[in-house]
Chains A and B, each alone.
Chain A
Amino acid sequence: MLHLYGMMVRLSRFVFSRPWVGYAVALALTALITGLIAIVREGIDVANISMLYLVAVLASAVAFGTGPAIIASVAAFVASDFFFVEPIHTLTVSDPEEWVDLGLLLMTGTITGYLAAALRGRARAAQRREREAVVLYDVVRLMTSSDLRESLAAVAERLRQELALSAVVIGFHGGPAGGLFAEAGEQEALGLARASGMAPKLLLAGGVAPTPEHRGSPGRWIRVLPPHLPGQPGWAAGRLHEVPVRLGDGTVGLISLVRYPEAPPFTAADDRLLSAVGNQLAVAIERTRLREEAAEAEILRRTDELKTALLNTVSHDLRTPLSSIIASAGSLLQQDVRWTEDERRDFARAIEEEAERLNRLVGNLLDLSRIQAGSLMPQRGWYDLSALVDDVLGRLRSVTSRHQVVVSVEEELPPVFLDYILIDEVFANLIENAVKYTPPGSEIAVRAIRTNGAVRVEVEDRGPGFPPEALPRLFEPFYRVQREGQTARGTGLGLAVAKGLVEAHGGQIWAENRKTGGARLVFTLPLGEPGQAPVEAAGESE
């Protein structure tokens, strides 16, 4: 369809840009009508049959304007005299009445032709303006897309079709969109457009800018010849046109247009349209720049927030266990008190547990920075998941002491290819998270089952669950769930680190709320390919 449309456009441009075509068609139409009248007159005698010539006049007026219309009426006058008025085949007229008829034919033809042509002119002007408006509107719409390169490619294609061009290239060499480049069209022509520095070309010079009192003008084409022209092929001359895209005082880009070899020059309307498109691109680029700046400012603001959050939470969470450690150690060292054995053990245990907690926090911080730097390298081996779970729960006994932890790992679960320390951390983070946000005494369920191609691990609690608005952000570093009437707690590191570690294993992690209340965190780890079976008892061979 588009191809057909392009051909039609090209054809009409060809016809309308060569005035002699109109005159030729007008004469041909008159000849046609003459033949028709001759045939009709063979059969019946019709008075004023010569009025049929008005058809040729009107058709020429509508299609080609005043000139061809007048030529058609003059031709009709002559043909009518020559072929149908006695004496036939001479330009003399015997009956004076016939003069009146012929005179009327000429006058009617001229006036109708003139009027029809004027009407046509107005209709065509309105069409042109509408086209201009539609194309500009399209360009504006196309440029609102967030992907600038895509937008430019669409604009290039739109221009190419509208102006029936061989190729259109839009490129920016400076300004905020510097280096951006989009093209549409035929290979050979694109080559010419890309090599625009080497070929002679026409440049649309800046016209007069409009003021409130005066209309602006689109500028005019200036011929630009490269300095070393003699060596250049002549075929390119006159085909390549360039419309600069100006931003402020400088030119930031170019719209390069390559016409078909036989195409007529651009009309004034085309010039106006092209210069408007150039302006529109500049505006769009400027808008993109502003949008990017705003986005950058937003990123900076968020980075800043993140840093503040990091400093606050890390300072709080590093110092809290330290407080217990220092207070407990200080108590043990006090000279004035004689502690009982139980008290001594309590202080020592507090020191141990809080030191463990500090260690986990430092581990999470280091992991997060490794995840963000992309330098996390899992050291994987084949491990039994249920042993790993037992291991973690044993280590976290002091953390989970006030909760009921229920573990169910599917029997016959094959060994999983994982980094033991990292997945251990994932479990620890998820369990610690569940403990932190649920009331003492409630149940925490840890489950591992086999699904197709993966093992699926769930950590469920019976707490308040996640607020729906928190679900999409849970795994962001330093994000903490804020409940009404409560201050946010924790570092916001655990889930972010768990996500990074699971993903480093090719698994997925997500959070959901249980239908019956409580939160569920789920992660999957891919099971080995059928072909790469685990090496049994790998530990023994090493």
Chain B
Amino acid sequence: MKSEGEAGTVRILVVDDEPSIRKTLSTNLARHGYDVDTAETGYEALDRYSRKKHDLILLDLGLPDIDGLEVIQQVRQRASTPIIVLSVREEEHAKVAALDLGADDYLTKPFGVEELLARIRVALRHTVQQAAPSGGLLRCGDLEVDLERRRVRVAGEEVRLTPTEYELLRAFILHPGKVLTDRALLQAVWGPEYGSEAHYLHVYVARLRKKIEADPQRPRHLLTEPGVGYRLISDEA
């Protein structure tokens, strides 16, 4: 699964203040075909990023100089480069804040390398898809959303959704693979004045699952990220 590598080497920036993590990750990622660059501090990361425009950033939140959250903010002001947050901060608020600021995914330390490689692949595919929306028709596994006609098919079968359910699914399909926080989803679907009414969201996610999942109890598309939000994945990841 190194399809991304073909179109030119994918450049990844690893930002972590721990030398051993930087070393291990760069050795490993380099062997998986990525071009790896490392930074020890937040400022160094921003400096390197502004010069090399990496395709993906692996970012530790606890940096010695500026907070990782600030790095996300600064990068997001300029580009939508996928950012995967690596953090030992298990507190929900740090993760949620990172995702709200525009991080694409998070991994809690300690993590396995296979898991990391999988997340990197998902985040990169998501950028590729965003770059080329095929004529208003978005696909995610056997899920197909026609943005122009507002139609949804699951495994070829047409599914009827209410307007709110459709808006919710649209928010997911525009960011496949990305973790969307409760707040981000509420604001995308219900409007900017919403943010803390998570129970609306949970009700609608449950309804949406009944319509698009073969087994709503064990969802394959619409996954819950406990305490954070939801994520739409295609089962081929």
Contact with B along A334-378 (1 / 0, CB 8 A): 100101000100110010011000000000000000000000000
Q: Which residues of A contact B32 (CB under 8 A)?
A: 337
Nearest opposing residue in chain B for A489, CB measure: B64
How many residues of chain B have a CB within 8 Å of chain A?
27
Task: Give complex CA distance A446, B62 in Å.
Answer: 31
* Complex contacts, A354 vs chain B, CB 8 Å: 20
**A323 contacts which of B28, B88, B90 (Cβ < 8 Å)?**
B88
Check B28–A326 contact: CB distance below 8 A: no
Query: Would you call B225 an interface residue if the criterion is a C-beta within 8 Å of the partner chain's C-beta atoms?
Result: no
Q: How far is the CA of A320 from the CA of B64 in the complex (A)?
A: 14
Q: Which residues of A contact B27 (CB under 8 A)?
A: 331, 343, 346-347
CA distance A476 to B35 in the complex (A): 45
CA distance A346 to B19 in the complex (A): 12
Contact between A323 and B113 (Cβ–Cβ < 8 Å)? no
Interface residues of B in 163-178 (CB under 8 A from A): none
Contact (Cβ within 8 A) A328 B24: yes
| Stretch of B73-81, B104-112, B187-195, B210-218 that contacts chain A | B104-112
Contacts of A331 in B (CB 8 A): 24, 27-28, 113
Other-chain residue from A320, A327, A485 in contact with B24 (beta carbon distance below 8 A): A327
Q: A334 is contacted by which of B21, B86, B110, B113 (Cβ under 8 Å)?
A: B113
Interchain CB contact under 8 A, B88 and A324 = no
Closest to B22 in A: A324
| Proximity bits, A286-319, B CB within 8 Å = 1, else 0 | 0000000000000000000000000000011001
Beta-carbon nearest neighbor of B67 in chain A: A487
Are B88 and A327 in contact (CB-based, < 8 A)? Answer: no
- Judge if B18 is at the interface, Cβ distance under 8 Å: yes
- Given B88, B90, B111, which contacts A326 in the complex, CB threshold below 8 Å? B111
The interface residues of chain B lying within 8 Å CB-to-CB of A486 are 64-65
Report the separation of the CA atoms of residues A328 and B116 in the bound assembly, to the nearest whole angstrom: 13
A485-B21 Cα distance, complex, nearest whole Å: 24
B151: A residues at CB distance < 8 A: none
**Which chain A residues (393-446) contact chain B, with CB distance < 8 Å?**
none
- Please tell me which one of the listed residues B63, B67, B89, B111 contacts residue A327 in the complex, with CB atoms under 8 A apart: B111
Please name 10 further chain A to chain B contacts, defined as beta carbons within 8 Å, in addition to the given A324-B18, A330-B114, sorted by A numbering: A319-B109, A327-B113, A327-B116, A330-B113, A331-B113, A337-B32, A350-B24, A486-B64, A487-B63, A487-B64
Chain B residues within CB distance 8 Å of chain A = 18, 20-21, 23-25, 27-28, 31-32, 62-67, 86, 88-90, 109-114, 116
Query: Which are the 5 A-B pairs with shortest beta-carbon distances?
Result: A330-B113, A324-B20, A323-B110, A323-B109, A326-B110
